[in-house]
């Protein structure tokens, strides 16, 4: 039994072939409409059995799902700053040019105006899309993505942030507003698996605390990405693995000449997040949903397959992550490949690749970890 925060109508492809028990008394909403059932409409003591009721309309399946707030220790927690979730360029400029009081006054005067989406917005929406399907396949499970808004904004700005989240129908329930202080100290308390920010200094602080983190860069042009499938692309050296092979590559130019006999790389922090993705993928595979899995991962590396392909793929396999696609480019630029993939996010440790990806419309996340940041 789990306490329900919200009941939501969702529409899924009929091809999913779901067989789900019906334990909630619910109302099916016809196609073309949507409806939310807030828990506030019911006594606070109401508890619901978790389940869904299905009814087909044409080629779609409409159902009521119970939206649960997972316990932090059971969830895959992604903390995002307000400046990557929303576009706050105007507000940031006011803060820098006119000071904090003018910034807070502006926010209060415009608190009924929702922020427009920022670079991490599609990524967050994709996480929620995965959650929707997980709740249908595994009613009551708390192995879900949990997004936390982590910001050093004052609580005064919280009203506009809450209004914006409600306006865009985001399922972000956990907030951390630190009133000018760094929020990094709260990341572990929120059981954070991944932290995304526009502030590279905070990202480095998070990495020093042992938390996977990356600096988000806004793409130079808008590109439509999937609304139903989460696509995560990542480089290998220093991002997924340790920077040991990157160090060898930078200093000796060829990985063939390295002295390491072990066929697996040392780990970096990001592997913990990707390992969690692998676990969720397997939950879909267990329900015979491999081809319809809403999570797809891509290894995109400048290395050649001959020099490091076997080690990279074996390491990923040992973590339980079945990479869907692996692209070994042998020095070719990554931007055009990423433009084809259209990932929600691409992790890399070298700004050269970050800039190339952003130029062609990819939301790029810089991981300032290891030797690459020294050579750049």
Q: Domains in the chain: how many in total?
A: 2
Q: Are residues 309 and 195 in the same domain?
A: no
Read off the tokens for 235. 């480089």
Q: How many helices, marked H, and strands, marked E, lie in the chain?
A: 12, 14
More confident residue, 298 or 63: 298
> Which of residues 12 and 29 earns the better pLDDT score?
12
Give the pLDDT confidence of 39-83 residue by residue, as tens digits: 333 333 223 333 444 444 444 444 554 555 777 778 999 999 999
In terms of domains, do 186 and 241 share one? no
Residues 92 and 208 in one domain: yes
The answer to whether residues 197 and 93 belong to one domain is: yes
DSSP per-residue letters across 107-159: HHHTTTSPPPB-TTHHHHHHHHHHHHHHHHHSTT---SEEEEEEE---GGGHH
pLDDT at 274: 84
Task: Work out the pLDDT band at 4, boundaries 50, 70, 90.
Answer: very low
Of the listed ranges 128-142, 226-240, 251-265, 273-287, the least confidently predicted one is 251-265
Please give the mean pLDDT across all residues of the chain: 77
**Does the structure show a pLDDT above 80 at 243?**
no
Residues 301 and 331 in one domain: yes
pLDDT of residue 254: 43
pTM: 0.77
Output the CA torsion 300→304→305→306 (10° steps): -170
Same domain, 276 and 161: no
Could you tell me if residue 59 is inside a domain? no
Do 91 and 203 sit in the same domain of this protein?
yes
pLDDT surpasses 80 at 369: no
pLDDT of 3 higher than 80: no
Give the mean model confidence (pLDDT) for residues 272-300.
Answer: 91
CATH of the domain at 248: 3.40.50.1000
- What does the alpha-carbon distance between residue 311 and residue 301 come to, in Å, rounded to a whole number? 13
Evaluate whether residue 276 is within a structural domain. Answer: yes
Comparing 26-40, 175-189, 270-284, the range with the smallest average pLDDT is: 26-40
What is the average pLDDT across 1-19?
45
Q: Among 8-22, 87-101, 117-131, 292-306, where is mean pLDDT lowest?
A: 8-22
Q: Does 50 or 326 have the greater pLDDT score?
A: 326
Catalytic-residue membership of 235 = yes
Q: Is residue 362 a contact partner of residue 343, using CB atoms and an 8 Å limit? A: yes
Residue 160 pLDDT more than 80? Answer: yes
| Alpha helix ranges (H) inside the chain | 82-85, 89-98, 100-109, 121-137, 158-167, 200-208, 244-252, 270-286, 305-318, 335-341, 351-359, 372-375
pLDDT at residue number 16: 43
pLDDT at 5 over 80: no
pLDDT of residue 370: 55
Q: Is 155 a domain residue?
A: yes
**What residues pair up with 146 in beta bridges, in sequence order?**
77
Give residue 242's pLDDT: 52
Q: Do the domain assignments include residue 371?
A: no
Same domain, 208 and 248: no
Give yes or no for a contact between 371 and 243, defined as CB atoms under 8 angstroms apart. yes
Domain boundary among 217, 245, 279: 217
Percentages helix, strand, coil for the chain (3-state, rounded to 5) are 35, 20, 45
pLDDT at 109 over 90: yes
Query: Is 138 inside a domain boundary?
Result: yes
Of residues 67 and 141, more confidently modeled: 141
Same domain, 175 and 235: no
Minimum mean pLDDT range among 188-197, 221-230, 305-314: 305-314
Shared domain for 210 and 302, answered yes or no, is no
Element (H, E) at 169: none
Q: Establish if 71 belongs to a structural domain.
A: no
pLDDT of residue 42: 34
The average pLDDT across 250-276 equals: 52
Residue 82 lies in a domain: yes
Domain holding 209: CATH number?
A: 3.40.50
Same domain, 322 and 356: yes
Query: What pLDDT sits at residue 321?
Result: 74
> Does residue 45 form part of some domain?
no
Q: How does DSSP classify residue 241?
A: B
Segments forming the whole domain that contains residue 202: 76-217
Residue 91: pLDDT band (50, 70, 90) is very high
Catalytic residue, chosen from 146, 235, 348, 349, is 235
- The DSSP 8-state label assigned to residue 341 in this structure reads H
The yes-or-no verdict on residue 304 having pLDDT over 70 is yes
Asked whether residue 311 falls in the same domain as residue 192, the answer is no
């Amino acid at each position: 039994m789990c306490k329900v925060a919200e009941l939501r109508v969702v529409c899924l492809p009929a091809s999913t072939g779901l067989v789900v028990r019906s334990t909630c008394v619910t109302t099916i909403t016809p196609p073309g409409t949507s409806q939310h059932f807030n828990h506030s409409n019911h006594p606070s003591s109401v508890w619901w059995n978790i389940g869904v009721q299905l009814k087909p309309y044409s080629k779609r399946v409409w159902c009521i799902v119970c939206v649960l707030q997972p316990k932090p220790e059971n969830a895959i927690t992604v903390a995002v700053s307000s400046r990557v979730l929303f576009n706050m360029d105007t507000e940031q400029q006011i803060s820098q040019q006119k000071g904090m009081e003018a910034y807070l006054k502006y926010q209060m005067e415009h608190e009924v105006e929702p922020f427009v989406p920022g670079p991490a917005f599609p990524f967050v929406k994709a996480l929620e899309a995965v959650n929707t399907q997980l709740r249908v396949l595994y009613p009551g499970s708390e192995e879900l993505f949990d997004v936390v808004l982590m910001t050093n904004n004052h609580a005064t700005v919280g009203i506009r942030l809450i209004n914006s989240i409600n306006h865009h129908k985001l399922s972000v329930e956990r907030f951390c507003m630190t009133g000018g202080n760094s929020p990094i100290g709260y990341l572990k308390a929120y059981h954070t698996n991944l932290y995304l920010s526009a502030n590279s200094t905070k990202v480095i602080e998070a990495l020093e605390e042992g938390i996977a983190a990356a600096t988000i860069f806004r793409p130079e042009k808008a590109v439509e990405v999937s609304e139903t499938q989460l696509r995560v692309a990542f480089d290998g050296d220093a991002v997924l693995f340790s920077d040991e092979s990157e160090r060898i590559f930078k200093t000796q130019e060829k990985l063939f000449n390295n002295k390491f006999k072990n066929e697996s790389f040392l780990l970096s922090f990001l592997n913990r997040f990707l390992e969690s993705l692998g676990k969720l993928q397997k939950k879909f595979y267990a329900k015979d949903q491999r081809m319809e899995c809403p999570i797809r991962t891509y290894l995109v590396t400048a290395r050649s397959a001959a020099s490091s392909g076997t080690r990279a793929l074996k390491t990923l396999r040992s973590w339980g992550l079945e990479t869907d696609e692996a692209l070994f480019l042998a020095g070719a630029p990554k931007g055009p490949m990423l433009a084809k993939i259209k990932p929600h996010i691409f992790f890399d440790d070298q700004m050269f690749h970050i800039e190339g990806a952003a130029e062609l419309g990819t939301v790029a996340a810089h991981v300032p970890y290891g030797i690459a940041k020294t050579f750049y």
